Structure 1
Amino acid sequence: MTTTVEAGAHTPAPDFEYRRRGRWLDHWQPEDEHFWMSGGKRTAWKNLLFSVFSEHLGFNVWVIWTIVVTNMGNAGFAFMQGPQALNNALLLTSAPVLVGAALRVPYTFAIPKFGGRAFTAFSASMLLIPCLGLAVFINRPDTPMSVFLILAALAGFGGGNFSSSMANISFFFPEGKKGTALGINAAGGNLGVAVTQLAVPLVIALGTTIVATSPEGYRLGLTLAALMWVPFIVIAASGALLFMDSITSAKPDGQSYKLAMTNKHNWVMAFLYIGTFGSFIGFSFAFPTLIKANFPELKDVGILVALGNLAFLGALVGSFTRPFGGWLADRMGGAKITFTVFVSQAAGIALIMAALELHNFPLYLIAFLALFILTGIGNGSTYRMIPMIFSAESQKRAAETGQDPEQAKASAKRQAGAALGVVGAVGAFGGFLLQQALRLSNIHYGSMAPAFWAYAALFLVMGAVTWWFYLRSEFAVQRMPSLAYANV
Structure 2
Amino acid sequence: MSTSSTTAKADNRTGNEWLQDWDPENDETWDQALAWRTLSVTTFTLTLAFASWFIASALAPKLTNLGFDLTQNQLYWLVALPGLSAGLLRLVWMVLPPILGTRRLVSLTTLLLLFPLVGWAVAVQDPDTSYTWLLALSFMSGIGGGAFSGFMPSTSYFFPRRMQGTALGVQAGVGNFGVSLVQFVTPWIIGFSMIGFLGASQTEAFPGKAPRDVWYQNATYVYVPFVIIGAILAWTMLKSIPIKVNVRQQFDIFKNQDTWWMTLLYIMTFGTFAGLSGQFGLLIKNIYGGGNAEIARLMTDGTTQVLVEGYSIPDPVKFAFLGPLIGAGARVLFSPLTDKMGGARWTLFAGVGILASVLYTSLQLSPDAGAGASALEADFDKFLYGMLAIFLFAGIGNASTFKQMPMIFERRQAGGVIGWTAALAAFGPFFFGVGLTLMEPETFFYIGVAFAAMCVAITWVRYARPGAPKPS
Verify same fold: TM over 0.5: yes
Find the counterpart in structure 2 of residue 90 from structure 1: 76
Shift of 1:283: 0.1
Deviation at 1:255, TM superposition (A): 6.4
Deviation at 1:302, TM superposition (A): 10
| 1:161-194 Cα deviation digits (max 9, x unpaired) | 1111101000001111111111111011101001
1:280 aligned onto 2:270: no
Q: Which residue of 1 aligns with 2:96?
A: 110
The structural deviation recorded for 1:242 is 1.1
Which of 407, 414, 438 does residue 412 from structure 2 map onto? 414
Q: Secondary structure at the match of 1:72?
A: helix
- Whether 1:379 and 2:398 are equivalent positions in the alignment is yes
Greater shift in the superposed pair: 196-205 or 358-367: 358-367
Question: What residue identity is the alignment partner of 1:352?
Answer: T
Give the structure 2 partner of residue 35 of structure 1. Answer: 29
- SS of corresponding position for 2:66: coil
Q: Do the aligned partners of 1:22 and 1:242 also contact (CA within 8 Å) in 2?
A: no
Q: 2:313 matched to 1:313?
A: no
Which residue among 44, 51, 68 is the counterpart of 2:35? Answer: 44
- The yes-or-no answer on 1:389 pairing with 2:400 is no
The CA deviation at 1:218 is: 7.7
CA contact (8 A) 1:197 1:312 kept: yes
Alpha-carbon offset, residue 432 of structure 1: 2.0
Q: Is 1:164 matched with 2:153?
A: no
1:430 CA displacement: 3.4
Q: 1:205 to 1:364 in 2, by over 3 A?
A: farther
Instruction: Report the Cα distance in structure 2 between the residues aligned to 1:180 and 1:256, rounded to whole angstroms.
Output: 27
The range that moved more, 53-62 or 425-434, is 425-434
Which residue in 1 is equivalent to 2:220? 226
Cross-structure match for 1:437:
435
TM-score (norm 2): 0.84
> Any gaps of 5 or more consecutive residues in structure 1?
10-20, 391-411, 442-446, 477-482
Give how far 1:4 is off: 7.5
Task: State the distance in 2 between where 1:212 and 1:125 align.
Answer: 28
User: In the alignment, what sits opposite 1:124?
Assistant: 110
Letter in 2 for 1:111: P
Partner of 1:136: 122
CA shift in 2, pair 1:41/1:67, >3 Å: same
Residue 194 of structure 2 is aligned to residue 201 of structure 1: no
Residue of structure 2 in register with 1:469 after alignment? 462
Equivalent residue, structure 2, for 1:214 = 204
Change (3 A) 1:145 1:194: same
In structure 2, list runs of 5 or more residues that go unmatched: 8-14, 195-199, 291-303, 368-374
Q: Secondary structure at the match of 1:77?
A: coil
Q: CA deviation at 1:374?
A: 0.2
Aligned to 1:340: 349
Q: Distance in 2 between matches of 1:429 and 1:304?
A: 28
**Alignment match of 2:383 (pick from 355, 364, 374):** 364
Return the match for 2:236 from 237, 242, 254: 242
Partner AA of 2:49 in structure 1? G
- Residues 128 and 233 in structure 1, CA contact (< 8 A), matched pair in contact too: yes
Please list, as runs of the form range in 1=range in 2, the aligned pairs for 1:49-64 lying within 5 A after superposition.
49-64=40-55
> Against the structure 1 CA distance between its residues 219 and 168, is the aligned structure 2 distance closer, same or farther, given a 3 Å change threshold?
farther
Name the residue aligned to 1:71: 62
How many angstroms does 1:328 deviate by? 3.5
CA 1:167–1:268: 2 relative to 1, 3 Å = same
Give the secondary-structure state (helix, strand or coil) at the position aligned to 1:247: coil
Question: How many Å separate the matches in 2 of 1:98 and 1:219?
Answer: 33
The size of the alignment, in residue pairs, is 427
Q: Secondary structure at the match of 2:446?
A: helix
Paired residue type of 2:393: L
The answer as to whether partners of 2:53 and 2:141 remain within 8 angstroms in 1 is yes
**1:263 matches 2:282:** no
Assess, with a 3 A threshold, how the Cα gap between structure 1 residues 323 and 349 changes in structure 2: closer, same or farther: same
User: How far is the alpha carbon of 1:212 from its aligned partner?
Assistant: 8.0
Comparing both structures, which one devotes a greater share of its residues to helix?
1
Q: Distance in 2 between matches of 1:70 and 1:93?
A: 9
Does residue 323 (structure 1) correspond to residue 332 (structure 2)? The answer is: yes
SS at match of 2:190: helix
Inter-CA distance 219–186: structure 2 relative to 1 (3 Å threshold): farther
Report whether the alignment pairs 1:349 with 2:358: yes
Report deviation, 1:324.
3.5
The two structures, once aligned, show a CA RMSD in angstroms of: 2.7
- Asked if the contact 1:75/1:218 (under 8 Å) is kept, the reply is no
SS at match of 1:252: coil
**Percentage identity across paired residues of the two chains:** 33
Cα deviation, 1:312-339, whole Å, max 9, x if unaligned, reads 0100010011134433333433222212
Partner of 1:428: 426
- Cα distance in 2 for partners of 1:214, 1:169 equals 43
Relative to 1, partners in 2 of residues 1:473 and 1:148: Cα closer, same or farther, differing over 3 Å? same
Contact 1:325/1:379 (CA < 8 Å) preserved in 2? no
* C-alpha contact (below 8 Å) 2:350/2:397 kept by paired residues: yes
- SS of structure 2 residue aligned to 1:109: coil
Contact 1:56 1:191 in 2 (8 A): yes
Residue equivalent to 2:140: 154
SS of equivalent residue, structure 2 residue 245 = coil
Residue 86 of structure 2 is matched in structure 1 by 100
